[in-house]
Structure 1
Amino acid sequence: MADAFSSSSEAVLQRVVDVTATTNAPVENLEELYQIKKTCDFINQHHFEKVALQFPDELLVDSVAIGAEIEKETQAKLFILGDTSYGSCCVDEVAAEHFGANCIVHYGRTCLSPSRRLPLMYVFERRAVDLEKCASAFRDLYPDRQSHIIVLYDVNYAHVIDDLLALLTPEYPNAVGSALVVDGELCYSHRQTQVRHDDACRSDQDDDRVLHQFGRQFALKSGLTIKDYSMFYIGQEGGTLRNFMMTWNRCTFCSFDPLTLTGRTESVSINRALMKRYYAIERAKDASVVGILVGTLGVADYLTIIQQLKETIHRAGKKSYMFAMGKLNVAKLANFLEIDIFVLIACPENSLLDSSEFYKPIVTPFEMEVACNKNREWSEEYVTDFRHLLPGGRSHVALANEEEESDETDVSLITGALRSRHLTFDGPGASSFGSSVVLRNQTLTVANTNSAASFLAGRSWQGLEQKLGQTPVVKAVEGRKGIAIAYEDEGKSTL
């Protein structure tokens, strides 16, 4: 123990530490909950040498025991990833690449957003469901046995759906089950169908009765649309259910919570929620400076949507700045008072952020497009997956040609002021009025285009004082070595 505290920092970083494998679940249940044998088979079959095991915060207590069991059956070197930079439902490929991992095993609930960099395996925590209670709640919620119903669920309950449908189908011939799908040829999971994204898109185009969205796939009967179905969701209230309800906002939703063993009709007013989102769109129309928040580094095509947003915002006559700051909180965003509104690039489940506590609103890429792209109109369609907004996506709407654009004006529903959707930053107006104001058009006078730098210059406090030229130059000296508990110049510990 004495040598452990007196070694150099480099040796400490490389030391293997023995820890006791404590778990939240009994050791004998680890195989059932986390599919350890199939995980080992996956690692051995592909000969992966470095494997990253990603756990959400609530499952970290089981991570050491799971890693110890996997090490017994494989030759791979394991790394445990926790405290992800963004939502734990997304795959943290960046952290895995820092360790040179060959693949990632993602544990717990997930949004099933596609990843592209590393081979990926999903392991869902298999939570128990009382099938009799669930079926009884289903019957109470749907007394009409001919109802058209789609059964959705959180991924942790995917393993019981076949048994549940076996109980219900004889009574409810129009009940439809949804299947989880893996989007991408490098993905694998124990109870999923592997589907390439382009194949899924082709199936949607060839047969509009097959829907593939949010990692779920289900078929509709001929002559019916999604609006003709009710949704029955198994799981707790949260981002997954909220995402489903906002997207399929013309469907009625009921749910069953396996923890409380209760079923209910979801009473959240979707119309009210949509109106709150529309209010945010009006704020986006009024905004002059937009902050693009990078809320994911793992979801496929996030760089493409950033570039598309930049172009859309610029064409609408607004300025944009990009921010990457990990998990968001009120204090972080409060540092940027120059920004009028933020747009969050994240997975579908994390993009619907409640910004009521923030100083400035936070909108989704779809909402920003409604505000800035005059070809896109607000309708009953609501898009939470930004990939659908990209060229080739089912909800893509191209920008108008620049020569066809006119400087249209309308009235803000918030301030009542007259506003222009397309300002001009270049041309004679910019040179004659300087960098602060430019000529809008022949009927409106000027538009404020102050940059963030001008806002900073006007602040009473601009950060730490630089004192350029006032600080004396001194020769660099060698600093202390070791770890904080015992630096090398303090002598060896006597523990």
Structure 2
Amino acid sequence: MATLTNSGTACLERTLDIEALAKDTNDLEVNYEIQRCVSWIKAGNFKKVCLQFPDELLVDAPAVARILTELLGFRVYILGDTTYGSCCVDEVAAEHIGADAVIHFGRTCLSPSKRIPVLYVFTRIFVDLSAVHSGLLKAVDDSMKKLIFVYDIRCHYVADSVVTKLQEYFSQLLSAELLLNYCDTISSEKGDSHLDGVTTITFNGRSVNLPSESSIKDYQFVYLGTSSPTLTSMLLRFSENTFYCIDPSDGSVECASGMRTVMSRNAKLEMAKDADIIGILVGTLGVADYRDVIVRLKHIIKSAGKRSYTFVVGKPNEPKLANIAEVDIFVYVSCPETAIVERLTDPALYKKLITPWELEVALLEEQEWSLQFESDFRELLPGGVRHVEMTSALQEETVNVSLLTNKTQRLGVRYVAEDPLDSKSGAVVLQNGLAIAELHVGGGGEILQGRTWQGLDSSVTAPVPVGHVVEGRAGIASIYVDENKSNTS
């Protein structure tokens, strides 16, 4: 078994910074748009509604739920500790109680969801309009500079005012629009389009219309908001562009670029080529088309002569992945914002996770590497701007030298004259007294056989009669409450 480097106590002792409401109001009615929520629920005739809050907003959850219950005349449910990222709609938890609608509060990635109606309430963070305006004017002295305005979704309530004020000085400033009906329009909005002399660029649940004679490389970005996964994803997607990041509270401006980060991730391509076993780590069951990309990834991995195993894991961390240490690298299928793990934030996960686009670049000859990093796996599917056709035939084996390990690197399948084995052949081999299907020699069956602990053994007598309930231990696995701490050190 793999040795865990984390005792688990950090999860129990973790503290949260409570997010403050907008300074211009402490009114829950305004910040959580109570009347809008009530109107939406009544219009849809929903009877079992879930309220999804991120961790930092859970402090307000009981008060919001109480107000809505009083206005609606029936109880609503609070979702906390989301199954996957808090920016995505937690359809799994909502379906556990049979909810017919979800209201998502706080920052969101706007990833499309098709199984349940969703209302997004962005909430608010304080924005000093005058400071934001004066701060950008000091940072950018060219009034003719081509700019694209994007913002933290919690600044949506003042976005129009900010754009109007900035356009008085920056005449060529464009504003990216939120695709608030992303789920309904996703088939037509997917990818970039060129219509009526306008080029529409779609990214992170947003779109911007550029004049047909212009290129996205001609523009710089103005980002209003705090540092967040949204900003990180945009920096990588447009790594060749400069971002003027404005702090909404004081108007201070910092210039940022994702170029160095994108370049540093090149090593992940070699890691994917070196890997013999690749795990498909499913970090969402709600984002549309996740099943399609899993099928595509399995085909690509198999064509490259490698083995793949699929795991569904909510909020992956080092201890969880350490239990399946035989997997060399994981391709993380999740929303565009949670798919990117930064080196400084979590070095252990950074070394183990890659995005579906990076895997395609490494193993699929037709997929080309680009400075425009793609974190949205939906763009790899038919209709997406990064989609490339795959051949049905397996790749012929090629041999290279790894740039990381200097060892032989094999990609593709070696063709042999023997008939291939399948699950119906019944062929088995005996290893250390255990029968393993020959199909899986070198794979999951052999790995399991080599472990010191292989799971529960049905031949061992149960410690208590079946059906008899006894109280179990309390605490965390590293130190139970009835253990002597001195004996565990």
After TM superposition, the structure 1 = structure 2 runs for residues 425-440 of structure 1, keeping only pairs within 5 Å, are 427-428=417-418
SS at match of 1:219: strand
TM-score normalized by structure 1? 0.81
**Counterpart-to-counterpart distance in 1, 2:93 and 2:405:** 44
The answer to whether residue 172 in structure 2 is matched with residue 174 in structure 1 is yes
Q: What runs of 5+ residues in structure 2 fail to find an aligned partner?
A: 1-17, 422-426, 430-439, 475-489
1:376 to 348, 367, 391: 367
Question: What does residue 204 of structure 1 align with?
Answer: 193
Q: Which residue of 1 aligns with 2:42?
A: 44
User: Kindly tell me: are residues 24 and 295 of structure 1, through their superposed partners in 2, closer, same or farther at Cα, counting changes over 3 Å?
Assistant: same
Shift of 1:184: 4.2
Distance (whole Å) between structure 1 residues aligned to residue 172 and residue 227 of structure 2: 25
Is 2:85 the partner of 1:94? no
Retained in 2: the 8 A contact 1:209–1:219?
yes
- 1:425 to 1:62, Cα distance in 2 relative to 1, 3 A: farther
What displacement does 1:263 show? 1.3
1:107 aligns with 2:105: yes
Structure 1 residue ranges without an equivalent (≥5): 1-21, 186-194, 437-447, 485-495
1:419 aligned residue? 409
Name 1:450's counterpart in structure 2: 442
The farther-off stretch of 252-261 and 334-343 is 252-261
Contact 2:361–2:369 (8 Å) recurs in 1: yes
| Partner residue, 1:63 | 61
Q: Is the 8 A contact 1:24 1:61 kept in 2?
A: no
C-alpha change, 1:406 and 1:233, in structure 2 (3 Å) is: same
Q: Aligned ranges for residues 392-411 of structure 1 at < 5 Å?
A: 392-402=383-393, 405-411=395-401
Amino acid across the alignment from 1:350: T
Query: 2:19·2:56 contact (CA, 8 Å) conserved in 1?
Result: no
What is aligned with 1:11? none
Note the C-alpha offset of 1:302. Answer: 0.7
Query: Structure 1 residues 112 and 202, CA, compared in 2 at 3 Å: closer, same or farther?
Result: closer
**Residue deviations 1:112-171 (CA, integer Å, cap 9, x gap):** 000000111000112220011001111112100000000110100011111112212121
Q: Alignment partner of 1:428: what SS?
A: coil
Question: Does residue 330 of structure 2 align to residue 342 of structure 1?
Answer: yes
Alpha-carbon distance between aligned partners in 1 of 2:95 and 2:462, rounded to the nearest angstrom = 42
8 Å Cα contact 2:280/2:311 also seen in 1? yes
Deviation at 1:384, TM superposition (A): 0.7
SS in 2 for 1:220: strand
- Number of equivalences: 434
**In structure 2, what is the equivalent of residue 487 of structure 1?**
none
Deviation at 1:356, TM superposition (A): 2.4
Paired position in structure 2 for 1:232 = 222
Change (3 A) 1:474 1:250: closer
**Distance of 1:289 and 1:478 partners within structure 2:** 42
Instruction: Point out the more displaced range, 377-386 or 365-374.
Output: 377-386
Counterpart AA for 1:393: G
- State the 4+ residue runs in structure 1 displaced beyond 6 angstroms: none
Q: How does 1:86-165 map to 2 (within 5 A)?
A: 86-165=84-163
Structure-2-length-normalised TM-score? 0.82
Alpha-carbon distance between aligned partners in 1 of 2:35 and 2:460, rounded to the nearest angstrom = 65
Paired residues for 1:299-318 under 5 Å:
299-318=287-306
Counting aligned pairs with the same residue, the percent is: 37
Matched, 1:286 2:274: yes
CA distance in 2 between partners of 1:452 and 1:23 (Å)? 45
Q: Pairwise mapping of residues 452-471 of structure 1 onto structure 2 (< 5 A)?
A: 452-459=444-451, 461-463=452-454, 466=457, 469-471=459-461
Root-mean-square deviation over aligned CA pairs? 2.8
Distance 2:277 2:149 in 1: 43
Write out per-residue CA displacement over residues 248-300 of structure 1, whole angstroms, 9 at most, x where no aligned residue. Answer: 1111111011245421112x5x3321222110111001111001111111111
Tell me, in whole angstroms, the C-alpha distance in 1 between the residues paired with 2:347 and 2:441.
27
| Aligned amino acid, residue 345 of structure 1 | V
Alignment partners' CA distance in 2, 1:435 and 1:374: 35
Aligned residue type for 1:95: A
1:352 aligns with 2:350: no
Return the index of the structure with the highest Cα Rg.
Answer: 1
Q: Give secondary structure in 2 for the equivalent of 1:146.
A: coil
Question: Following TM superposition, by how much is the alpha carbon of 1:96 offset from its aligned partner in structure 2, in angstroms?
Answer: 0.7
The one of 206, 214, 223 aligned to 2:213: 223
